[in-house]
Chains A and B, each alone.
Chain A
Amino acid sequence: MTRTLFTDARLIDPDADTETRGWLLVENGRIAAIGGGADMPQTDARIDCAGKCLAPGLVDLGVKVCEPGERHKESYRSAGRAAAAGGVTTMITRPDTLPAIDSPEALEFVSRRANAAAEVNVLPMAALTKGRDGREMTEIGFLMDAGAVAFTDCDHVVRDTKVLARALSYARGLGALVIGHIQEPVLSAGAAATSGKFASLYGLPAVSPMAERMGLDRDIALIEMTGVRYHVDQVTTARALPALRRARDNGLDLSAGTSIHHLTLNEFDVGGYRTFFKVKPPLRAEDDRMAVVEAVRNGLIDTISSMHTPQDEESKRLPFEEAASGAVGLETLLPAALRLYHSGDLSLPVLFRALSRNPARRLGLPCGRLSAGAPADLVLFDPDTPFVLDRWTLQSKSKNTPFDGQRMQGKVLATYVAGQAVFESINA
């Protein structure tokens, strides 16, 4: 029986919404007990946290690992290392690979690769329609048996509402969770920016932020029609929030996420056509960003993810319109989220509610909590350590981070999966 005691920790408990000074006992890979004061259990192994923060490890919903198809951009090994370095103990991976993960065979392949190569937990999602083409639903039942935790076509929106309605009905029958991208596809086609002063000044093809509301409205009607369990991948605009609120109040089984980039950056960051800031949907106005931060604070938006999307240099060193979308985020998710803590917008328990507890709970996972019986998936971090991010130090194979050269505050000191250290900072 292995027992490890974490002493003198600042324990961040998202369930109780508290930060307390105390100790945490890990036994056989699970959290066994938590307490304060000097009355500590006796163990051989002790980790002195020296007053730093100990929180449930991050559960990142929507990570792209480029296997199969584009291993030069990211493999399970490199993504696993990046996750561990970023305090992410569970990656929920996306099926938008080449080819898409739309069959039990493909899913078994990635699960096998993930288990062999990554030290953190990896749970795969599968496509909702074959080839993410929006024409025929995938074998949702078989895929669930093979371990798919949710179904999504990622940034491909199912345009045919009849196909989508049937897929959602079928998914409801199996209790499957469907994750949708709500940007209205016709209006969004070809857009590289959000319409407004910035896009007009830079002459970029742009989409109205209203495209998000439109897509959300359609999907809300379909959720009401089918009763499916549904999660929105990214809500990024103020105008979508009242619709989300109403649907929630009407009792629909609807949750929502947002991306760390939309929470911490705005359209002006694109500056002189910096393609590392090209994400999907495009970065929004500052008013939208502030509204989304507030929605995370008041719980209307449940989850924050990195939307980790590796792209190689060649895909990004192009004119802005031609450049690929997406940014890596596994390692910067926590330091970027801590910007919202340092700015006074969100407390640490509220942050970990969105980073760890809510995504775990939505997927029915036992992790994401700091309570006895939960897996000892933990992150130890110092929220105050300042550093300047150098993208070449990232563990990901692709280095396309928008935070390159930026000042960050907050560093992961160690990451534990089932009580075992999978990352320890050399400077700790």
Chain B
Amino acid sequence: MSFSQSHLLGIEPLAPADITTILDLADQYVALNRRDVKHADALAGLTQINMFFENSTRTQASFELAGKRLGADVMNMSMQASSVKKGETLIDTALTLNAMHPDLLVVRHPHSGAVDLLAQKVNCAVLNAGDGRHEHPTQALLDALTIRRAKGRLHRLSIAICGDIAHSRVARSNIILLGKMENRVRLVGPPTLMPAGIADFGVEVFEDMEEGLRDVDVVMMLRLQRERMDGGFIPSEREYYFRYGLDADKLSYASPDAIVMHPGPMNRGVEIDGEIADDINRSVIQEQVEMGVAVRMAAMDLLARNLRARSKEVMA
């Protein structure tokens, strides 16, 4: 089992073999997480710092739990409340933390590229927990694991990603990952929420849900952020729900065994109908949360192995 990276900054730098390595290991951690005693010592003695420059409950909890289950010492820092407010630059914050010798740094930042910048200035492994509109690699990996377990494979599937593509780092990471694994990706949404030049990414673009969902194996809904709902990008919540909200009628155009995904948190009645979200035969939304912990355990485990291998080289 080999993993080529020393950081997890995005899906873009990963080879298909890296992705498979993470998912295979994550499968083992899913089994561990379902046991009574959910503990391993892959990260024992290591320090993990979660630095969130942007609000997060779910992702931060998932990373925290992943670290704790593998025996790491986990510290959470909510950066909005701290030195950033006092005018400290990102790089100074990074250097300060670096001096405390963390081994794993989990970072979320509102600006694209900020996590890459930070990774250049520290000598621990950095995991991107979402940077601006750029990437959210662990989300794409947990989505991939969910799909692979539900569909039995992660290639030659037809997958529709629907909603606010333009502002979504989840969409970007998923487009890249699913493309690398040789799937057909469709993007469905109103033109105001579609990024420019997106057709060059090797995806098909649809403005109509029925056409876009026709015969797909996976329907991936995206969260529509509240601040984009009124007038700016779409006329209103109700028109959006009518045209792009996933309900039973629109889902009927997809393949009969298509699964429904959502990265959460959901706006029921905006991008997804509550009944679809709760339909245990179609929705895998709860599985996504479960896979999230396992994927993050796997990613941190692999990065820690590379860290240890490197420090052994230095010693030798």
The chain A residues found within 8 Å of chain B, CB to CB, are 195-206, 208, 272-273, 314, 317-322
Contacts and interface: CB of A to CB of B under 8 A. Distances in A.
A320 B114 CA distance: 7
A319 B113 contact: yes
B112 A314 contact: no
B196 A317 contact: no
B197 A319 contact: no
Contact of A317 (B91, B111, B116, B197): B91
A244 B135 CA distance: 39
Interface in B54-103: 89-91
B134 A203 contact: yes
Interface string B185-208: 000000000011110110000000
Given A197-B201, A319-B132, 8 more contacts: A197-B198, A197-B200, A202-B113, A203-B113, A203-B134, A203-B135, A205-B133, A273-B113
25 contacts: A195-B197, A196-B196, A197-B198, A197-B200, A200-B172, A200-B196, A200-B201, A202-B113, A203-B131, A203-B132, A203-B133, A203-B134, A204-B113, A206-B196, A208-B196, A272-B116, A273-B113, A317-B91, A319-B90, A319-B113, A319-B114, A319-B117, A320-B111, A321-B132, A322-B111
B201 A201 contact: yes
Given A196-B197, A318-B89, A318-B90, A203 B117 contact: no
A321 B196 CA distance: 18
A201 B169 CA distance: 10
Given A203-B133, A203-B134, A203-B172, A320 B113 contact: yes
A200 B201 CA distance: 10
Contacts of A206: 196
Contacts of B195: 195, 199-200
A136 to B, nearest CB: 33
A interface, over-half SS = loop
B109 interface: yes
A196 B166 CA distance: 12
A208 B196 CA distance: 9
A56 B109 CA distance: 50
Contact of B169 (A199, A203, A208, A314): A203
Q: What 5 A-B pairs have minimum CB-CB distances, sorted nearest first?
A: A273-B113, A203-B133, A203-B134, A197-B197, A200-B195
B225 to A, nearest CB: 15
B240 to A, nearest CB: 22
B interface, over-half SS = mixed
A252 to B, nearest CB: 32
Q: Which of A199, A200, A318, A322 has the most CB of B within 10 A?
A: A200
Contact of A319 (B109, B172, B200): B109
A128 B12 CA distance: 46
Nearest to A195: B196
Nearest to A206: B196
Given A196-B196, A317-B89, A318-B89, A204 B201 contact: no
B278 to A, nearest CB: 32
Nearest to A200: B195
Nearest to A313: B91
A317 B93 CA distance: 13
B172 A201 contact: yes
Contacts of A199: 195-197
Interface string B125-165: 00000011111000000000000000000000000000000
Nearest to A196: B197
Interface string B100-125: 00000000010111101100000000
Contacts of B89: 314, 317-318
Contacts of A205: 133
A200 B132 contact: no
A124 B113 CA distance: 38
A358 to B, nearest CB: 34
Contacts of B113: 202-204, 272-273, 319-321
Contacts of B90: 318-319
A267 to B, nearest CB: 10
A319 B196 contact: no
Contacts of B196: 195-197, 199-200, 206, 208
Nearest to A285: B197
Contact of B112 (A195, A202, A208): A202
A321 B197 contact: no
B197 A320 contact: no
B112 A320 contact: yes
A390 to B, nearest CB: 20
Contact of A273 (B112, B197, B198, B201): B112
B285 to A, nearest CB: 24
A60 B198 CA distance: 38
B125 to A, nearest CB: 18
B11 to A, nearest CB: 11
B121 to A, nearest CB: 9
B109 to A, nearest CB: 7
Given A319-B111, A320-B112, A200 B117 contact: no
A212 to B, nearest CB: 15
A7 to B, nearest CB: 52
Contacts of B131: 203
Contacts of A200: 172, 195-198, 201
Contacts of B200: 197
Contacts of B91: 317-318
A318 B116 CA distance: 11
Nearest to A209: B196
B164 to A, nearest CB: 13
B134 A202 contact: yes
A202 B113 CA distance: 8
B74 to A, nearest CB: 25
A199 B201 CA distance: 12
A361 B134 CA distance: 46
A228 to B, nearest CB: 34
B172 A273 contact: no
A273 B133 contact: no
A225 to B, nearest CB: 33
Contacts of A204: 112-113, 132-133
A319 B201 contact: no
Contacts of B172: 200-201, 203
Q: Which of B112, B133, B135 has the most CB of A within 10 A?
A: B112
Nearest to B113: A273
Contacts of B109: 319
A365 B108 CA distance: 54
Contacts of B198: 197, 200
A400 to B, nearest CB: 16
B128 to A, nearest CB: 12
A320 B134 CA distance: 12
Contacts of A208: 196
